[in-house]
Chain A
Amino acid sequence: MTALIHLTGVQKYYGDYHALRGIDLEIRKGEFFSLLGPSGCGKTTLLRTIAGFETVSSGTLMIDGKDMKGVPANLRPTNMVFQSYAIFPHLSVGENVGFGLRKYPMTKDEKARAVGEALEMVGLGGYGARAAHALSGGQRQRVALARALILKPKVLLLDEPLSALDKKMREQMQVELIKLQRQVGITFILVTHDQEEALVMSDRIAVMFEGEIGQLADPETLYRRPNSRRVAEFIGKMNFLPGEVTKLGERITVEVPGLGTSEIGKEQAPGGAKLGRSLIGVRPETLAIQFEGEATDRRVADATVDEVVYYGDMTYYDVRIAGIEKPLTISMKNLIGRPVLDVGTRTRVIWDERSLVVLAR
C-alpha cells in the first residue's frame, strides 16, 4: 500500500497556543485511519488541516503527491462529514446530496441518477424529496455521508461523526461505516475521542496527546502493547505497578514487588526499556481469580477481595496483593458455576508474565 497523505513536521500555532507540535504521518491509500485522543489534543485541528480549513504554520502536507500549500478546501480531493453534519436546511435531501455536483459535466438526469444511487448506498433510497430539516440524527448523518461520497473523493474525513447518536445507533453505524469503506475503497480518516469506536473501526490508529502523536499502530498492538502510560490509560483499563528492570538483552528481566521476578520478551516493552525503576502495566482481563476447584499451570499470588462491581456479564474485582500498594482490578466473565465473591474473601490471583507491559516513563 502506498502513502496517500504525507505530513512532515506539521506545526500549527493559534497565537501563542501550540496546537500541533510537529506531526509526521503517512496515511495509506484505502485504509481506515483514526485520530484518537482526548479533547483538545489537536486531532480535529489535524483533520481540518488536511481538509484545508486550517493552514499549517510550518511543515508540509502532501495529498496524492501534491503539496497542498495554498490550495483552498474547495480544490482539495477531500470531503468531510462534519460533527454537526452541516446539512443545508434550505435544501431538500436530494439537493443536499447533489450540492457538490454543480461543476460536474453531467446532464440533469445523470445528476438525478447519481443522487439516487448515493442515497441508495447509505440506505436512504427514495428520501430525495424530503425536507432536510425533518430528518433524524442518524438520517442526517447518512445524508452527510452520501453528500461527501457522491463526489468520489480520494479521502473522506469524518469529524466525530457518531458522537451525536445514541449508543445503539452508534454501534449500528460503526458496522455500516466499515462496510461502506470496504465497498467504496476510499481512504477514511476518522476523528474520535471514543477508544472503543477507534478500535472497532480502524486499520490503524494514531493516538494524540497535546498536539503530538503518542503512538501509531494497528488496534491490537495499540491495546496489547501501549508504549506509554498515557496511551495505556486512554485505551481500555490498565493496572499500573511500580517495578524494576534488572537485566536488558534478548529478553528483559523485570522485578515486580508482590509478583516476583519475570523474564519477558522485548516486544513487551514497545516504548523501550531502561535499567532501573519503571512502570509495569497489566490489563484486568489478563488477570484471573482462581475459583474453588480450578486448576492452573500459570503463576499465582495470594490476594484479598477489596471491592466488587457486578456488571451482569462481567464482574470487576479490586484485589489486594501483599507487596502491591494499590489494589489490582480484575475482570471476570460470569461463567456458569462461578460465584460472585464477597468483599474480604481471601483468594488467589492467576497471572502470566506474557501479559506484562513495560511502559516508558
Chain B
Amino acid sequence: MAWGSNLDSDARRGLMLVSPPLVYAVLLLALPLAAIVLFSFWSQDFVTVNTTFTLNNYQRIWNEPIYGLLLQRSLFVSGAVTLVTVVLAFPVAYYISFHVDPKRKSLWLFLITIPFWTSYLIRVFLWKVILGYNGVINSGLLSAGVIDEPLTFILYNINAVIITLAHAFAPFAVLPIFVALEKIDRSLLEASQDLGEGKVMTFFRVTLPQAMPGVAAALVIVSIPTVGDYVTPELMGGAGGKLIANMIQTQFLQLNNAPLGAAIALVAMAAVVTAILVIYAQGKLLIAVYSELNGTRPVFDIFILCVTMLFLQVLVAAALLRTLGGTLGSGVAFFVGLVLYSIAILLLLKNRRR
C-alpha cells in the first residue's frame, strides 16, 4: 500500500494544499533557526569556527553587563512603543468604528495605510528631518519663540527611536482594534444604557472588555517586531539608543563572531517569549480582578484598583532593576518578581472569593 492510503481524500487534499508553504516555511524559518541554535554552542577561532560544544557564549552574555543592558533597553523600548502605539491607536480605531459613516470606513482605513506607500527607510529618514537639530520641530518652535535653542532630547537617543517606531507601527495597532470594535453588537450599548449606565460606564463595562481581544492582538503585533528592530535604532538612536539587534548585527558582521551573535539572538528570543508570557499572565490577572469586582462594586473602584495594581507592579519592577544593576541576571529577577507578585494577587483573590 502506498504511503498515505489510510488517509481519507479530504485529509490528503489538505496536506497537498498545505505542503508548499510548509516546505517554504521549513526551509526559510526552521532551518536557519536550527543553524542559529547550533552556532550558539560553537565558538569563533579567529577566522574559523570551532565546532566543539561549549556554553562559553551564554556565560559571556550572563556575566558581561552590556548584553543585559541592551536587552533590557530593547524590551523597554518595545514596551514603551507598544504602550504609546496602542494607547494612541485605540481612539483612532474607536472613531472610525463608531463615528465614521459606514460608507466611508474603508476610505479611512485606506488613509491609515498611506505611510506604507513609501519605504520604511524613507519614513525613518523623514523623522530625522522632523526631529533633527535644524529640523521641522526645532525651527518651528524657535521661530515661534517657544524655545531659545534647539531641543536635543528628540534625536539620537531612545526618545527618537520610540517616536519613530510608534509611528511606523500605528496601522498595525489600529486595524486589529478596529476589527474588534466593529464586531461589537451596537444593541449591547443600548442595552447597557437601558439598564441604567451612562456613556462612560458603558464604555468601561461593555465596549472596552469586548475590544480586549483586539487590544491584545495589537500588543503582540507591535511588541514582537519592535524588540528586534534594527534600522530605526541604527539611524535614530545615536550612541545611547542602540538596541540588542544592533549588537547582534555587530557580532555577526563587524566583530566576525557569529556564534556569540547567534547566542545573543536566542537569548533575545527567549526574553521576548518570557515577556509575552508575563504580559499574558498580567492580562489574565487584570481580567480576574475585573470580573471578580464587576457588577458588585462601583466601576470606579475597579478602575482605581487596576491602576494601583499596575503602578505597584511597575514599582516592584523598578526596585528590582535598581538593586540588581544592569546584568542579564537582573532582567531574569525582574520577571521572576513579576510572576511571584501575580501569583500572590491571584491567591489573595481566591481567598476573598471563599
Q: Does B185 contact A (CB under 8 A)?
A: yes
A74 in contact with B295 given A84-B185, A86-B188 (CB within 8 Å)? no
A73 in contact with B190 given A88-B206, A101-B295, A102-B298 (CB within 8 Å)? yes
Of B51-59, B195-203, B214-222, B341-349, the stretch lying at the interface with chain A is B195-203
B295 touches A95 (CB 8 A): yes
Interface string of A73-93 (1 = CB under 8 A from B): 111001110111010111100
A108 touches B296 (CB 8 A): yes
A80 touches B210 (CB 8 A): no
The interface residues of chain B lying within 8 Å CB-to-CB of A75 are 196
Nearest residue (CB) in B for A72 is B193
B296 touches A74 (CB 8 A): no
Candidate in B187, B192, B291, B298 with the most chain A CB atoms within 10 angstroms: B187
Give the interface SS of chain B, mostly helix, strand, loop or mixed: helix
B188 touches A88 (CB 8 A): yes
Tell me the complex Cα distance, A51–B190, Å.
10
A84 touches B193 (CB 8 A): no
The interface residues of chain A lying within 8 Å CB-to-CB of B27 are none
Interface string of A265-298 (1 = CB under 8 A from B): 0000000000000000000000000000000000
Q: Does A151 contact B (CB under 8 A)?
A: yes
Interface string of B297-309 (1 = CB under 8 A from A): 0110000000000
The interface residues of chain B lying within 8 Å CB-to-CB of A78 are 194
B190 touches A100 (CB 8 A): no
Smallest CB–CB gap between B272 and chain A, Å? 29
**Cβ 8 A contact of B194, one of A79, A84, A108, A111:** A79
Tell me the complex Cα distance, A52–B197, Å.
13
Q: Does A234 contact B (CB under 8 A)?
A: no
A99 in contact with B192 given A74-B197, A86-B185, A108-B296 (CB within 8 Å)? yes
Smallest CB–CB gap between A169 and chain B, Å? 21
The interface residues of chain B lying within 8 Å CB-to-CB of A100 are 195-197
A84 in contact with B195 given A95-B294, A102-B298, A108-B296 (CB within 8 Å)? no
Tell me the complex Cα distance, A86–B294, Å.
18
Tell me the complex Cα distance, A98–B195, Å.
10
B196 touches A102 (CB 8 A): yes
A111 touches B192 (CB 8 A): no
Tell me the complex Cα distance, A322–B197, Å.
66
B188 touches A74 (CB 8 A): no
The interface residues of chain A lying within 8 Å CB-to-CB of B192 are 88, 99
Q: Does B238 contact A (CB under 8 A)?
A: no
Q: Does A225 contact B (CB under 8 A)?
A: no
Q: Does A338 contact B (CB under 8 A)?
A: no
Tell me the complex Cα distance, A148–B196, Å.
10
The interface residues of chain B lying within 8 Å CB-to-CB of A167 are none
Q: Does A43 contact B (CB under 8 A)?
A: no
A102 touches B295 (CB 8 A): yes
Q: Does A103 contact B (CB under 8 A)?
A: yes
Tell me the complex Cα distance, A78–B298, Å.
22
Tell me the complex Cα distance, A74–B205, Å.
14
A73 touches B294 (CB 8 A): no
Name B267-302 residues within 8 Å CB distance of A.
Answer: 291, 294-296, 298-299
Interface string of A41-63 (1 = CB under 8 A from B): 00000000001110000000000
The interface residues of chain B lying within 8 Å CB-to-CB of A142 are none
The interface residues of chain B lying within 8 Å CB-to-CB of A103 are 196, 298
Tell me the complex Cα distance, A91–B290, Å.
11
Q: Does B126 contact A (CB under 8 A)?
A: no
**Cβ 8 A contact of A74, one of B193, B206, B291, B298:** B193
Q: Does A147 contact B (CB under 8 A)?
A: yes
Q: Does B336 contact A (CB under 8 A)?
A: no
The interface residues of chain A lying within 8 Å CB-to-CB of B206 are 88
Smallest CB–CB gap between A74 and chain B, Å? 5
**Cβ 8 A contact of B195, one of A72, A83, A90, A99:** A99
Q: Does B191 contact A (CB under 8 A)?
A: yes
Nearest residue (CB) in B for A103 is B196
A82 touches B295 (CB 8 A): no
Nearest residue (CB) in A for B298 is A102
The interface residues of chain A lying within 8 Å CB-to-CB of B325 are none
The interface residues of chain B lying within 8 Å CB-to-CB of A148 are 194-195
Tell me the complex Cα distance, A72–B187, Å.
16
Q: Does B240 contact A (CB under 8 A)?
A: no
The interface residues of chain A lying within 8 Å CB-to-CB of B191 are 80, 82, 86, 88
The interface residues of chain A lying within 8 Å CB-to-CB of B195 are 74, 79, 99-100, 147-148, 151
Smallest CB–CB gap between B195 and chain A, Å? 3
Tell me the complex Cα distance, A98–B210, Å.
18
The interface residues of chain A lying within 8 Å CB-to-CB of B32 are none
Tell me the complex Cα distance, A100–B206, Å.
12
A102 touches B188 (CB 8 A): no
Nearest residue (CB) in B for A108 is B296
Q: Does B91 contact A (CB under 8 A)?
A: no
B299 touches A90 (CB 8 A): no
Tell me the complex Cα distance, A51–B195, Å.
11
Smallest CB–CB gap between B303 and chain A, Å? 13
B190 touches A82 (CB 8 A): yes
B210 touches A90 (CB 8 A): yes
Nearest residue (CB) in B for A86 is B191
The interface residues of chain A lying within 8 Å CB-to-CB of B196 are 74-75, 100, 102-103, 151
Q: Does B209 contact A (CB under 8 A)?
A: yes
**Cβ 8 A contact of A53, one of B190, B201, B298:** B190
Tell me the complex Cα distance, A88–B197, Å.
14
The interface residues of chain A lying within 8 Å CB-to-CB of B294 are 91, 95
Smallest CB–CB gap between A150 and chain B, Å? 9
16 contacts between A and B (CB under 8 A): A51-B194, A73-B190, A74-B195, A74-B198, A82-B187, A82-B191, A84-B187, A86-B187, A86-B191, A91-B294, A99-B205, A100-B197, A102-B201, A102-B298, A103-B196, A147-B195
The 5 nearest A-B residue pairs measured at CB: A100-B195, A86-B191, A86-B187, A73-B193, A90-B209
Residues on A lying within 8 angstroms of B by beta carbon are: 51-53, 72-75, 78-80, 82-84, 86, 88-91, 95, 98-103, 108, 111, 147-148, 151
Further 9 A-B residue pairs, CB within 8 A, beyond A52-B193, A74-B196: A73-B193, A80-B191, A82-B187, A91-B295, A95-B291, A95-B294, A99-B195, A108-B296, A148-B195
